[in-house]
Amino acid sequence: MKLKHLIILLAFLPSLSFSQEVGVADVYLLTCGPGEEVYSVYGHSALRIVIPEKNIDLVYNWGVFDFSTPNFAWRFARGHLDYSLGVSSYESFLREYYMEKRWVTEQRININSEQTAKLFELITENLKPENINYRYDFFYDNCSTRIRDLIEKAVGNDLIYSPDQAWKSLPTFRDLISKYEKGYYWRRAGIDLLVGVEADKKASFRDMMFLPLEMKDCLSETSIRHEGKLIPLLTNPVLVLDFAPPVVSQSILAGPMIVFGFLLIICIFLTGWLRDRKSNLVIDLIIYSIFSILALMMIFFNLFSDHQQLKTNLNIIWLNPFIIICLISLLFNKDWMIWFRLVFFISVGFLAFLVILPQNINNSFVPLIGILIVRTSTRAGFSWNPLTIPYLTQL
């Protein structure tokens, strides 16, 4: 959903007499298709509540945040950005998705009046000023999981999920994310760079619902016990807005694997061709500056961010703090070969154990690690290396 503050209608739910009004209320799950913006590629979920006698037709959306929040980027990076529950009219909600050309489906939730009353009470509690904001977590607490959790609490033990697949066949969180990043080669590489071991955990049937489109499918397979019988939790989807999904036109030839592979070939060529000190110093200042920035990112997200998905990121092994020390040695013309050797052996070791790491490492990072291996070997003073550049540290 487009990120802006919606009108919060705090007055209407508390004023309802649940025992009298809930019986004529209908609750729908709204699922919205992916958009072209980074934040919309996974789709969106919301709840629609219709009470004809009260002329109420409102949409509840747990995915609201504001780009104008002070220090937005810093708060987002630290994991301190709060999301909010927003309320809008159904007409306004659809108008927004019509403008964004994103499809929308709705499915009525087959809950009885008692369960609907419980759901209303939970939403009313969410609308209280002390509860309307929540700390966003991409995997476990977002616009979709909030709806899933409310349905679970409202229905209780009468909610019957489909059994999980065999453990080995379960997708990981990273698998599910990658499913929606097909064709977005650079963005997928960026996500794989930043997201750590947490993303490689297996996602159960319930866990998969952190993604709106997956929740639509999972809840469509979910049953509810009604008068001793099992019936589908959701009715068949009705297409409210019909738009084709965005077309991805990125070429794999311009993707990170090809680009980084080409840079590795250039690096090897220049390393063998340029033997003078100044040329190699310029090349290494550029290379180690870029890798140092990436190393600083790894340090920040591993140690100083509250995003659990970004912690325990094994990319910090090859993008390690020792690279920064190598850059300092270049800037101050210091003969610190030991640090170049350390980075060299860490990079080689990382490649050697790549297939058994508990974290999936994007293949496009292999050429980058190759660049580190080539350039650190030239400054490590290895007698066996024909690419070693003599007298690099001499004035």
Alpha carbon distance 133, 82 (integer Å): 6
Alpha carbon distance 266, 259 (integer Å): 11
- What's the pLDDT band for 81 if we cut at 50, 70, 90? confident
Mean pLDDT, range 131-148, rounded to an integer? 93
Judged by phi (left if over 0) then psi (alpha if -120 to 50, else beta), residue 211 lies in beta
φ, ψ of residue 128 to 5 degrees: the values are: -65, 145
Global pTM value: 0.88
> Would you list the domain boundaries of the chain?
18-161+206-241, 252-379
* pLDDT at residue 317 in the model: 98
Q: Does position 90 have pLDDT exceeding 50, yes or no?
A: yes
- Read off the pLDDT of residues 232-269 as tens digits, 9 standing for 90 and up: 999 999 999 999 988 877 788 889 999 999 999 999 99
Tell the residue number behind the tokens 């591993």, with chain if given.
Answer: 302
Alpha carbon distance 65, 45 (integer Å): 15
290 within 8 A of 267, measured Cβ to Cβ: no
Q: Residue 224 pairs with which residues in a beta bridge?
A: 159, 231
How many CB atoms within 10 Å of residue 152? 13
Tell the residue number behind the tokens 């590795």, with chain if given.
Answer: 264
- Read off the pLDDT of residues 376-392 as tens digits, 9 standing for 90 and up: 999 998 888 877 876 54
